[in-house]
Amino acid sequence: MLKGIFGKIFVLVVGISLIVSMFILVVTIGERTKSTEEALVQENKLLAKIVSKNIEAGYYADILPLETLKIISDSENILFVWVVKPSGVIYLADDPQMLGKIIDDPSLGTERVEVRDSVYLKDGKKIKLIIQPIGIKEEGKLWSFFLGVSLEEIAAAKKRIIFSSLGFFIAVLIFTALISFYLTKGVTKPLEYLREGAEIIGEGNFGYRIEIKTGDEIEELAEAFNQMAKGLSQSRAALEESKTVLEIKIKARTLELEELAKGLDEKVKERTKELRERIAEMEKFQRLTVGRELKMVALKKEIKGLETELAKYGKNI
């Protein structure tokens, strides 16, 4: 039973720790990925702002910042750079094939910086599109600087975060399992002592005491068992004492009954002797009486015979 309790508590603690750790892991990965993405976006927003100022300055100085655009496009995170007129015509681009092409975007000509998720047409992967207004106006609308930022660095960073977090998660899980094992043992071991003590007390050894010092409800329960055993011991002692007193009383009463029975037996014998003597006297008297009656009958017969003879004799005279 206690092994079952140990297993349930251990699995429960480890399970809760696993769930909490997984939740923390997911939240940590999400937060760190988000912070990395925000840092990447902020970095490239600053870059787009600087480049847009260079393009603006170069435009008014009749100097195209092609070298700057090339340096930017050579960056691992930058997929493309476009300088787009309000009409949608690509004025400058890192890819010569894109020059002169027309794009349709609702952010063209706006005066605010926009950052949104988009898809890179060449490979269909998700990217961040940063649109920075340039201080060059055409027909009352501003030019725009389009910067396509790859999220490969985010994906790689996410993998690194996952691997590092998994290592930390495994270490935390092992540590939690060890702590859970220790804590569970701390709960189930006193319960084992309590069970063994309860069995000993249940077998009738009321002098046994359960020694548990945990400072919690288990110790209080053990003390309750000890008090119960003490009470049962006192009750059994009182019962034994009552039994002894009762046995003494029974013995005394038995002796009294034996003496009484002995006296009654003697009285019965005496009475029986008296009755036998009276019966003997009565039988003797009866025999005498019967003998007399028989003699009287015989005499009566004899007298009657004599009377008969006398009568005959008188007639003859």
Give CA separation, 244 vs 103, 110, 119, 256, in Å.
114, 110, 101, 18
> For residue 316, is pLDDT > 60?
no
Chain centroid to CA 99 = 70
Q: What confidence score (pLDDT) does residue 1 get?
A: 43
Q: What phi and psi values does residue 113 have, to the nearest 5 degrees? A: -85, 130
Confidence class for position 7, pLDDT limits 50, 70, 90? low
Give tens-digit pLDDT for 140-190.
899 999 999 988 877 787 787 777 777 777 887 787 777 777 777 666 677
The H or E element spanning position 241 is: helix 217-316
Q: What confidence score (pLDDT) does residue 313 get?
A: 61
User: Averaged over 206-227, what is the pLDDT?
Assistant: 74
How deeply is 36 buried, as exposed, middle or buried, from its count of CB atoms within 10 A (0-12, 13-18, 19+)? middle
Please answer whether residues 82 and 146 qualify as being in contact, where contact means their C-beta atoms are separated by less than 8 angstroms: yes
Q: pLDDT averaged over the chain? A: 79
Q: Measure the CA–CA gap between 217 and 196, rounded to whole angstroms.
A: 17
Least confident among 85-89, 193-197, 253-257: 193-197
Confidence class for position 2, pLDDT limits 50, 70, 90? very low
Sheet holding 141-150, edge to edge: 90-93, 78-84, 141-150, 126-138, 114-119
Please give the residue that has the higher pLDDT: either 211 or 103. Answer: 103
Give tens-digit pLDDT for 45-101.
998 898 888 888 888 887 777 777 777 777 778 889 999 999 999 998 888 888 899
φ/ψ bin of 287: left (φ > 0), alpha (ψ from -120 to 50), beta (otherwise): alpha
Confidence class for position 263, pLDDT limits 50, 70, 90? confident
DSSP-assigned beta bridge partners for residue 114: 131
- The percentage of residues in the chain with a pLDDT greater than 70, rounded to a whole number, is 88
Please answer whether residues 235 and 228 qualify as being in contact, where contact means their C-beta atoms are separated by less than 8 angstroms: no
Confidence class for position 267, pLDDT limits 50, 70, 90? confident
Please give the residue that has the higher pLDDT: either 8 or 83. Answer: 83
Q: Measure the CA–CA gap between 35 and 37, rounded to whole angstroms.
A: 5
Confidence class for position 102, pLDDT limits 50, 70, 90? very high
- Joined tokens for residue 62: 């009749």
Three-state DSSP class for 128?
strand
Please answer whether residues 209 and 229 qualify as being in contact, where contact means their C-beta atoms are separated by less than 8 angstroms: yes
> For residue 315, is pLDDT > 60?
no
- Joined tokens for residue 12: 């429960």
Q: Measure the CA–CA gap between 255 and 264, rounded to whole angstroms.
A: 14
**Where exactly are the structural domains of the chain?**
2-174
Instruction: Report the CATH fold assignment for 2-174.
Output: Beta-Lactamase (3.30.450)
* pTM (2 d.p.): 0.52
Q: What confidence score (pLDDT) does residue 114 get?
A: 92
Q: Rounded to the nearest 5 degrees, what angle is found at the Cα of 88, between the Cα atoms of 49 and 137?
A: 55
> For residue 4, is pLDDT > 70?
no
Give tens-digit pLDDT for 105-140.
888 988 889 999 988 877 788 889 999 999 898 888
- The percentage of residues in the chain with a pLDDT greater than 90, rounded to a whole number, is 10
